[in-house]
Amino acid sequence: MTVWGYMRVSTTAQDVDAQRRALLAAGVDTAHLVDDHVSGTKASRPGLDRLLGDLQAGDVLTVWKLDRLGRSVSNLVDLVNDLERRNVQLRSLTEGLDTTTPSGKLMFHVMAALAEFERDLIRERTAAGLEAARAAGKVLGRQSQVTREQYRLIKTMATQGSPQRTIAATCGVPRATVGRIIRGEVPSLAARYDDDITDDELPVTTGAA
């Protein structure tokens, strides 16, 4: 069994000295201390990523405070669940969380229940917001950068039988985008641009295949 210690600060201007002293006092060996100088919101934390790969069954991961480890409650719960599946324990010195003890396991399960409750609320609010937007006739999804003129020119050239590669070169858009527009896979563009503009307003110039 190895007792590991993980430390994190948000910037290179900060130091981990206080965390190091606390972890050493808790019995973590200097050789088993790992640190990151990166914001907790970042998905990738090189030190933690390597440490998670090195942890073995029976090991204990120790942190000074839980917010050093997880980006959010949900992220922390997912991480600890993964540790539990691998038979790796977690200790947080500030919160007194220690999954090697029955009370620590209970505390974690309460956290997990709250995190699941939070996820359910987010899903419900998101679904309600989307439904309200659809009812109001709003077009959902990321707005395309294709202009009105490009969209209508693509539709016109496709109707005239021009190859997609020619349409893409003429309109200055990726060939994949041309295909999606022709197949009607970009409903947000249709909602924005399928209006009463006539084709003679467009500078239609079809090249040879």
Domain-embedded: residue 143: no
Q: What is the domain range of residue 196? A: 148-201
Q: How many domains does the chain have?
A: 2
- The rounded mean pLDDT for the chain is 81
Are 107 and 177 in a shared domain? Answer: no
Structure tokens at 63: 């942190």
Asked if residue 80 and residue 29 are part of one domain, the reply reads yes
Same domain, 111 and 63: yes
A 10 A CB-CB count for 78 gives: 14
Residue 73 lies inside a defined structural domain of this protein: yes
- Cα gap 64→120, rounded to integer Å: 30
How many angstroms separate the CA atoms of 95 and 72, rounded? Answer: 15
Domain shared by 69 and 154, yes or no: no
pLDDT in tens, 96-116: 888 888 887 787 777 777 667
Active-site annotation holds for 10: yes
% the chain with pLDDT above 90: 34
Query: Of these residues, 10, 39, 72, 103, which one is catalytic?
Result: 10
